[in-house]
Structure 1
Amino acid sequence: MEATLITDITYVEAAAAPVATPSLPPVVLASALKRRLVAGVFKLAEARLLWRFLRTPARVGRAIKRVDDLKRKYYGDLKIRKIAHVAGRYYREYYTPGWPSVAYDNYIATTINRLVPFRGDTETLNLVFLAITKKCPLACEHCFEWDALNQRETLTRDNIRELVAAFQARHVSQIFFSGGEPMLRVNDLISVVSAARPGTDFWVITSGFNFTRENAGRLKRAGFTGVTISLDHHEPDRHNAFRGSPQAYQNAVQAAAHAHAAGLVVNLSLCVTQEFTTEANLMAYARLARQLGVTFIQILEPRAVGHYAGRAVDLNPAQLELLEAFYLRLNFGPDYLDWPLVHYYGYHQRRMGCTGAADRFLYVDTDGDLHACPFCQKKSGSALGGCLSKSLDALKTRGCHAFANAVI
């Protein structure tokens, strides 16, 4: 069954009302003892998976050494201690599925197969960003899909279902639905994910528009794991101006509350502009995230694409140092172990190279075409109509045109 293609939408905004920001229960473990116990269980679970996949002590030993080398390259001497607990699963990183789950086992299998091959394929793709709609009620300052917004839809529900099935066949353990505003197609999202097979965590990336309590519950029941909510300032008026809507902040914090109540993992996504990037703003944002009981804060550096094309939006070296210090303090500082976990891809990208371009992740745009990532767009063929394998090969060959390839 095809989705109804939306060709014309009229949005009516109410006048902005005073914002009430809820205080929600924390999900990041505060107990040092419980963190140690859960970390131990993680080690046992991973050891069990290694033996299941590799079957011999020599191969298991080789895999353990290579995993340790990988962690040292990624984290250096830093050790992950923070753990969140949501709806019966434990989370340590934004781009790693929660444990226990088939998706977590799937993620570990792909990682191990990359280091010590044990299955017949060489697939290394872990996650996909899948844009399903061109429609959006906002006018965001940094929108990377600006030129495609509110054009006629291309992808039908059957197209989306085809894409999900094709990526699941390649062991993808996380799919993030984006747009546009994907909650405009909430019925299609629910239909597609309800029919998907186990082994993949599904997320929706939203501004909070149409993320009602009812829809949050429907997403959870359909099989969604989490929601990434775009919130670009701790001050309501600043966020509303950035998003071009007087309701944007209220929609975002209400979406966080509804997702929290439904048992969805909540990630707040922050575009750190030149104006925003100060220590005072970062810490105020972190306090707000803690108040909202979220699991993750994602830091995105602005890129001169889409609505930012041709503009000097890059952060200066001092601001990058400030962001890295914030990332390290919130994730590894002893005073912040029960605060939300911070995901900052730029920190690792500068040290290891880019893992996009179908190395570990890629982006599928609203026409079904493949790109290295949402911010480094250059079409490398279609993912539809049986063209995915050929398009993946082209994307891997081309690599990321803006950043060096990953070193591992």
Structure 2
Amino acid sequence: MESTLIPELNFLDAVPAPAATAPLSVDLPNLPPTVVASSLRRALLNGVISLAEKKLVFQYLRTPARILRAAKQVQLLRTTYYGEYQVQKVAYVAGRYYQEFQKPGWPSAAFNSYIATTLNRLVPFRPTQNAVQMVFLAITKKCPLACEHCFEWNALNQREKLSLADLRTMVANFQTRGVTQIFFSGGEPMVRINDMLEVLRTASSGTDFWVFTSGFNFTSANAQHLRQAGLTGVSISLDHHEPARHNAFRGVADAYELAIQAVVNAKEAGLVVALTLCATQSFTTAANLMAYATMAKQLGVTFIHVLEPRAIGHYAQQEVDLTPAQTALLDEFYLKLNYSGDYHGWPIVHYYGYHQRRMGCSGAADRFLYVDTDGDMHACPFCQKKSGSALSASFDDALQVVRQSGCHQFPASTM
């Protein structure tokens, strides 16, 4: 019955996933799953999380009038974002339950803060409206790889500008304003493992911290140290299910091996694991998408994070945009993996492009923003225009400039 929740998907239905009992590769480890496969357990967990959200609504809004208004606004937001669908999947990692990549796990202070910020945006109950929930913070220019799609290509391996004190200041600035997720990126952020550990150890509670990495230097010991210091999750770049093709894309002969080992190390440390895929023109076929999903399931990761290529950085002035047929194929992949009853035990797919084309951009300090390796703020990693420093004394004025600049291609949502 559950499979009827999704309309017919012509492209992907023609490419069945390999049998769950048959490993994609003899060299690929079979790791325990985190996504709940049981329909009954999944329904119970989603019900409990929904009750927790409702309890927070009563706690924050208090009056019946505001609660009713919030209920209508939340329903409108969900309909705008998901259409006819409802979140179904839930994953369990280290004592917390995760439904979406952009939403902190429950129970946690970050989850509570996320709900409060969302509510305050819809029905204000605080003196200020701190809408930014996610920040992508590039902490280094250094990287040992030469990735085909790198958006920071022009800054790579130049002299570092951000000190440890700068990183602490920026994190504190964002935490003070209610940011619930901070993602360390670069360059390759694992080259600054010691500084990351210091930032994590001194950060306030109420924020989930993630790291975007190629797998470089993500050793078992480093994974354990990061988890102990307060890291929530890791998003590991893996751009093909075929080792040789991923290695060529990343410009390093052992990139695939490093990424797979990083998954193993992260899962052993109790970190939430996502695989980040840049779905290029040459990659985006039904067969590749399903083979990639099978690989991700075998690795037991929680999320598949799909990005579209953009003509910036190393891709500047190149024709890299996907065709309409390919974006439609990614839409179908997102819907099938998340809502078809045959895939409830598979990783949760986060494909921002699906929502961006339907409700506008949430970047440009609307809900998220990007801070580059100089500490300057931008709408997002792929829509770069320096709009003020995250280290500036006039931090809030700089945030407002980012909001006003917006996204040239996808205007900000009104919700």
Q: What TM bracket, shorter-length normalisation?
A: over 0.9
Q: Give 2:141's aligned residue.
A: 134
Amino acid at match of 2:309: P
SS in 2 for 1:277: coil
Q: How does 1:130-169 map to 2 (within 5 A)?
A: 130-169=137-176
Q: Of 172, 179, 182, which aligns to 1:175?
A: 182
Q: Find out whether 1:270 has 2:272 as its counterpart.
A: no
Query: How high is the TM-score relative to the length of structure 2?
Result: 0.93
SS in 1 for 2:137: strand
In the aligned structure 1, how far is the partner of 2:44 from the partner of 2:237?
33
CA contact (8 A) 1:19 1:250 kept: no
Give a deviation string over 1:341-385, Cα, whole Å, max 9, x none.
000000000000101000000000000000000010000011114
CA contact (8 A) 1:370 1:379 kept: yes
Q: Give 1:5's aligned residue.
A: none
Q: Give 1:257's aligned residue.
A: 264
Amino acid at match of 2:230: G
Deviation at 1:122, TM superposition (A): 1.2
Q: How does 1:4-403 map to 2 (within 5 A)?
A: 20-403=27-410
Amino acid at match of 1:147: N
Deviation at 1:401, TM superposition (A): 2.5
SS in 1 for 2:42: helix
CA contact (8 A) 1:23 1:293 kept: yes
Single out whichever of 228-237 and 390-399 deviates more from structure 2: 390-399
CA contact (8 A) 1:370 1:395 kept: yes
Give the RMSD, CA atoms, in angstroms. Answer: 1.0
Q: Unpaired segments of 5 or more residues in structure 2?
A: 1-24
SS in 2 for 1:85: strand
SS in 1 for 2:184: strand
SS in 1 for 2:280: coil
- Extract structure 1 runs of 4+ deviating beyond 4 A: none
What percent identity do the matched residue pairs reach?
Answer: 63
Amino acid at match of 1:98: G
Amino acid at match of 1:121: T
Count of residues in correspondence between the two structures? 391
Amino acid at match of 2:179: V
In the aligned structure 1, how far is the partner of 2:392 from the partner of 2:180?
22
Query: How high is the TM-score relative to the length of structure 1?
Result: 0.95
Q: Give 1:14's aligned residue.
A: none
Give a deviation string over 1:273-302, Cα, whole Å, max 9, x none.
100000000000000000010000011000
Q: Unpaired segments of 5 or more residues in structure 1?
A: 1-17
Q: Give 1:8's aligned residue.
A: none
In the aligned structure 2, how far is the partner of 1:371 from the partner of 1:27?
34
CA contact (8 A) 1:19 1:236 kept: no
Deviation at 1:21, TM superposition (A): 1.8
In the aligned structure 2, how far is the partner of 1:155 from the partner of 1:387?
18
Deviation at 1:158, TM superposition (A): 0.5
SS in 1 for 2:209: strand
Q: Give 1:12's aligned residue.
A: none
